[in-house]
Amino acid sequence: MRLLVLLGCVFTLGWILSWMYYDASTEMASANPVDSTLLPQAAIDASQLTSRESVGETLNRPGKDKQGLRPASVFDITLEHLRSGEFEAVMAQYPAIQGQLSASDAIEHRKIIIDHAESLIEAGQAVTAYALLDLYLKYEYRDVFALLLMADIYRDADNEMEAIEVLFQAKSYAHSAEDIEQTVKAIRSTEQNYSAQLSARKDYLAQLNLYKRLTELEPEYALHFIGLAEAYLALGNAVDARKALELAQHDAAVAEKANDIIRRMENNAQADGNFAAAVSLQALGNQFLVDAWLNNSQAAVLLLDTGASLSIISRRLLEALRIPYQSADRSAWFSTAGGRIRAPVVTLDSLALDEVVVENIEVGVIDEFDNQEFDGLLGMNFLRHFEFFIDQNENRLKLSPH
């Protein structure tokens, strides 16, 4: 009798332990669910996997090292998702997959994504390729080839300035001689083609902004300063053109070209010494102030600024002119002493310097000048209407209409 009771206790205890082990295993599995979209069910031998096994577990299963088990299934499912346009699903699993693959397989996995983006571009689906590359570059922002593809997309969309920014980003990450050569070649081609387009359109202000940015991105490349000087000259600004050329003169490779342009400027100044108007300037340090007249009714003192693309006046002047600006249809970014700000842009009926007048001219409106010795800036959107020369000896701004 005692034996029967003992056997019954052992059976009951074994049943309880088995039940507890099963319950714990179930709980652990449910705490680590698997994304079913990642598992290539058709490609993995179902007899070797449980329903809760992840791709990472598959690659690291005992007896199957990373080289022993070729992750063809992972590649297949990645390509399948790419072809279906499920880019977010692919990139959501990207870090985990890359962490589980061998070095060579990780490269192959990245190549599948990049090759697909390139095939989309070749098929004329640039917008779709952009969506994929934008997600990919959040993880692989140093991938030079991916950045070159992104630059191609911007260039094909006629957004050359953004293409140039991306190309310089690629250049900063390029290490091999081949990558460096490829990125530099793309930069030179893009900047030259874009500059030629702007010259053909006579959009010299955009050309000036191009070379200003290029000299910031690559100040060691002296030819950018030659381009900057020529853009200033196209806008009639000989003063800043000479400053750019003086920087280029220090590079032996372009010094002769810089000197040729300076001689040409001096010859032109002698031949075209007679300007239609000469406006008095007041020196302020190494800058100049000029008296202006707004809408033929409001006097203003403006700082001559050939580096400003848009003229700017203070809010106080706009209020004196009774021009509403709070609900202006347009705004723009401006660099101020306090940093970059977005400010409203309004159109004046006229802006005049003595008898020299530009009608229907846009101006930015900010309060940066309320405590200054001047009321705003006279920028290139006024000066570009003229051939002009700043005579620093006589303190005069000499102007002739184009």
| Diameter over CA atoms, the chain | 131
Of the options 1.25.40, 1.20.1740, 1.10.1060, 2.70.98, the CATH number for the domain spanning 202-271 = 1.25.40
**Between residues 329 and 197, the one the model is more confident about:** 197
- Those residues whose C-beta lies under 8 Å from the C-beta of residue 389, and which sit 6 or more positions away, are 236, 238, 239, 269, 275, 397, 398
Lowest mean per-residue pLDDT among 171-180, 265-274, 355-364: 265-274
Q: pLDDT band at residue 303, thresholds of 50, 70 and 90?
A: very high
| Domain range annotation of the chain | 55-140, 202-271, 277-401
- The torsion angle over the Cα atoms of residues 113, 118, 120 and 121, rounded to 10 degrees, is 150
> Span 38-66, mean pLDDT?
37
Q: What is the mean pLDDT of the chain?
A: 80
**Between residues 72 and 282, the one the model is more confident about:** 282
What's the CATH number for 277-401? 2.40.70.10
pLDDT, tens digit, for every residue of 16-33? 444 443 343 334 333 333
State how far the Cα of 167 lies from the Cα of 186, in Å rounded to an integer.
7
State how far the Cα of 219 lies from the Cα of 247, in Å rounded to an integer.
10
